[in-house]
Amino acid sequence: MLAKRIIPCLDIKDGRTVKGINFLDLRDAGDPVELAAIYSREGADELVFLDISATEQKRKTLADLVYRVAEKINIPFTVGGGIATVEDVDILLQNGADKVSINSSAVKNPQLINDLVAKFGSQCIVVAIDAKQIDGEWIVHLVGGKVPTTLRLFDWAKEVEERGAGEILFTSMNNDGTKNGFANTALAKLSEELNIPIIASGGAGTMQHFTDTFTKGKADAALAASVFHFKEIKIEDLKTHLKENKIPVRL
Amino acid sequence: MKIVIINYGAGNIQSIKFAIQRLGYTAILSNSIDEIQAADKVIFPGVGEASSAMHKLQNSGLDAVIPTLKQPVLGICLGMQLMCNTTEEGHTKGLGIFNVDVLKFSDKVKVPQIGWNQIDKLKSELFTGISNEAYIYLVHSFYAPLCKETIATTNYEHAYSAALQSNNFYGTQFHPEKSSLVGEAILKNFLLL
């Protein structure tokens, strides 16, 4: 049976791991390659590296990091953050990334999704969507949730699927950093309306939150950063908890 | 041991090279027919779209060479699918090594299937030391149905071939190079054939 996936997310700045609380107020916590190897040993199903640096050397630093991670770990990983062109993706895949995730660049130029899918295949193109619920309406946001767009979450998600993306990584800005649980109502609606896997992100605080996002939220995978990062939840314990709650996991 | 990963411009092959390195062996990436024919083990990877990958094989003349190889050959993911008779993806004619036609999953399930699923009914030296229901990592929208050459099954929508074997030719739908310790053991079994 296909297992539900647990995905630690590592925020990367200038080759180092950081995690923002509500995307602000960064805290430093280690070497990404070491952390990746630890997560992999502890039973993470996949990893996401999100590069939030904005330097001119960014592209090369990230490609080097991807290469070092690919050399060391034996589970799949996705790389995102500032990816805007077919060439950007080509470099990351050549260096050993399994998937890339695009966000703002897809909103600004939706054709990019089609171009990437045509060149590299659906299986390696993840579209990340950050959305905030405003007056009952889920609105897509850019720049780590700071800038609202005119796009509605469910319309944009449908378009992303039609353009060929292999997966959607949905972050609820209302939930992110709160540790109050995932946005399960919106997640369930995405899963019902779309036919590609949905990764839940934003709000993980307890093991029960993961159970809820797989049952109530119908998510295919759940992503979190700080609860794993600061060892508030151990992946092995989480998977045991999920298994006890009859959720299929790889143990 | 000379291990060649066929480099025909289809997808992420670094990962396979690194996985072999972690096992203590060295693999070279090559599209040279001479080098491929002289190898002890050949790995035929593939990620992306079937018809364009097949065109790349044809352009380098590898479509005629691969089916004539005598050493152990391992096709991975799209590589395995291209070793079949045909694939529904891009209505592509394959290499005809495995006597089965590759089909698309229906919309009753989420497509692509992405993640960790289990292999069962294992029957090949490729799976020495691997237990039934072990988890492996898959990413795919098309699948090879069960057939005489099936050596492992997985369930998604229905049972299908997780791996195939015909004489010296092996194929896995899953990615051993991304399947943690189970995948490494399977890759090692292949290298020790």
- pLDDT tens, residue by residue, B48-86: 788 988 999 999 999 999 999 999 999 999 999 999 999
**Mind giving me the DSSP string for A126-174?**
EEEEEEEEETTEEEEEETTTTEEEEEEHHHHHHHHHHTT-SEEEEEETT
Q: What is the reported pTM?
A: 0.95
The mean pLDDT value for A208-214 works out to 98
Pairing label, strands A147-152, B134-140: unpaired
Tell me whether residues B115 and A167 touch, CB distance under 8 A: no
Tell me whether residues A121 and B135 touch, CB distance under 8 A: no
Any B CB within 8 A of A220 CB: yes
- Segments forming the whole domain that contains residue A221: 5-244
Mean pLDDT of chain A: 92
- pLDDT tens, residue by residue, A16-41: 887 544 334 445 556 789 889 989 99
Which residue in A has a C-alpha nearest to residue B187's C-alpha? A74
Domain ranges of chain B: 3-191
Amino acid A96: pLDDT? 93
Where residue A148 sits, what CATH number does that domain have? 3.20.20.70
Amino acid A21: pLDDT? 43
Among left, alpha and beta (phi > 0; psi -120 to 50; other), residue A202 is left
Residue B116 and residue B185: Cα distance in Å, rounded? Answer: 16
For residue B160, which of B177, B178, B174 has the smallest C-alpha distance?
A: B174
Q: Considering only residues 176 to 195 of chain A, which have any Cβ-Cβ distance to chain B shorter than 8 Å? A: 195
- pLDDT tens, residue by residue, B121-162: 999 999 999 999 999 999 999 999 999 999 999 999 999 999
For residue A249, which of A216, A211, A195 has the smallest C-alpha distance?
A: A211
Residues of A in contact with B55 (CB under 8 A): none
Return the residue in B5, B13, B14, B81 with the most chain A beta carbons within 10 A, the one to mutate for interface testing: B14
Least confident of A51-55, A60-64, B60-64, B111-115: A51-55
Amino acid B47: pLDDT? 74
Superfamily of domain B3-191: Class I glutamine amidotransferase (GATase) domain (3.40.50.880)
Pairing label, strands A125-134, B158-166: unpaired
Amino acid A170: pLDDT? 98
Least confident of B7-11, B28-32, B130-134: B7-11
Tell me whether residues B15 and A96 touch, CB distance under 8 A: yes
- Work out the burial of residue A108: count CB atoms within 10 Å of its CB; fewer than 13 is exposed, 13-18 middle, 19 or more buried: exposed
Which residue in A has a C-alpha nearest to residue B7's C-alpha? A94
- pLDDT tens, residue by residue, A2-17: 999 999 999 898 888 8
Return the residue in B15, B82, B156 with the most chain A beta carbons within 10 A, the one to mutate for interface testing: B15
From B67's Cα to the closest Cα of chain A, the distance in A is 25
For residue B143, which of B126, B164, B125 has the smallest C-alpha distance?
A: B164
Amino acid A24: pLDDT? 42
A222, part of any domain: yes
Percent of chain B with pLDDT over 90: 92
Terminal-residue alpha carbon distance, chain B: 11
Residues of A in contact with B184 (CB under 8 A): 74
A250, part of any domain: no
User: How many structural domains are present in chain A?
Assistant: 1
Residues of B in contact with A95 (CB under 8 A): 14
Tell me whether residues B137 and A94 touch, CB distance under 8 A: no
For residue B65, which of B29, B95, B27 has the smallest C-alpha distance?
A: B95
For residue B19, which of A70, A108, A66 has the smallest C-alpha distance?
A: A70
A249, part of any domain: no
Any B CB within 8 A of A161 CB: no
Instruction: Choose the closest CB to A2 out of B113, B180, B181.
Output: B113
Any B CB within 8 A of A154 CB: no
Determine contact, residues A106/A112, Cβ cutoff 8 Å: yes
Amino acid A22: pLDDT? 38
Amino acid B169: pLDDT? 98
Opening angle at CA B26, ends B20 and B32, nearest 5 = 105
Residues of B designated as active site: 77, 175, 177
Among left, alpha and beta (phi > 0; psi -120 to 50; other), residue B22 is alpha
A156, part of any domain: yes
Alpha helices in chain A (DSSP H): 32-42, 58-72, 86-94, 104-108, 111-120, 153-162, 184-193, 207-215, 226-229, 235-244
The mean pLDDT value for A235-243 works out to 97
Residues of B in contact with A45 (CB under 8 A): 115-116
